[in-house]
Amino acid sequence: MVNQKKDWLEEKAILLYGQIYQYALAKVKEVEIAEEIAQTVMEVVIRKRNTLKHPEAFKRWVKVITTNKIRDHFRKLKRERAIYIWETDTTEWIADIQDEEADILAHLQEREEVQSVLAALMRLDEKYRTVLILHLIYEKTIPEIAAEFQMSYDTVKTRYRRGIQLLRERCCKKAERRGEDGEQKHT
């Protein structure tokens, strides 16, 4: 009887593979990663099938495992990006910034200036800061940010542009003040 239950669960898990994959793909938006998550979920389900006490809860149990694996993926991604941002040369991670952001690039030549930009970014209103961090650091697209916060595309785009303008103004003002301080010292 126990072997029949195990076989039944294994067969049901295999039938759910397509749904697991689709769910993962909808969340992570990358085919290879969704396949990897689905495969990992299948391994966990088959390996831990003995722990399921109520077969009627099988589908919910599989969804919880899938959700946890997706969260693990995003946690890992967040850690990798944080390490990348702080350990790489600043010009590398800023190289892909659009033309609007090019003015900021000049202020990121030295480590001190990077910290200055990050400090200015952190002083922005939360609505601008959040959009800029998600777009510039986590490389999320405007539509992805809009969907995540259930806002319109135009609202997110406006907050992004205004945030860039405010950040540029604050960085340029600091650079001008440093320039004036340097000129006064030399005269």
pLDDT, tens digit, 9 for 90 and up, residues 143-178: 999 999 999 999 999 999 999 999 888 877 765 666
DSSP 1-41: -HHHHHHHHHHHHHHHHHHHHHHHHHHH--HHHHHHHHHHH
The average pLDDT across 76-93 equals 57
**Percent above pLDDT 90 for the chain:** 22
- Statement: residue 181 has pLDDT above 60: no
Assign 93 to helix, strand or coil: helix
What is the average pLDDT across 67-94?
67
Band of the pLDDT at 32, cuts 50, 70, 90?
very high
pLDDT at 92 over 80: no
What whole-number distance in Å separates Cα of residue 15 and Cα of residue 12? 5
182: pLDDT confidence band, cut at 50, 70 and 90? low
CA–CA dist 32, 29 (Å, integer): 9
Mean predicted lDDT score pLDDT of the chain = 76
Q: Which residue has the higher pLDDT, 101 or 54?
A: 54
- For residue 9, what pLDDT band results from cuts at 50, 70 and 90? low
Q: What is the pLDDT of residue 112?
A: 61
Map tokens 């890992």 to a residue.
76
- pLDDT cut 70: percent of the chain above it: 68
Token readout for 129 is: 């800061």
Q: How confident is the model at residue 47 (pLDDT cuts 50, 70, 90)?
A: confident
pLDDT, one tens digit per residue, over 107-145 is 444 556 667 778 888 888 999 999 988 988 888 899 999
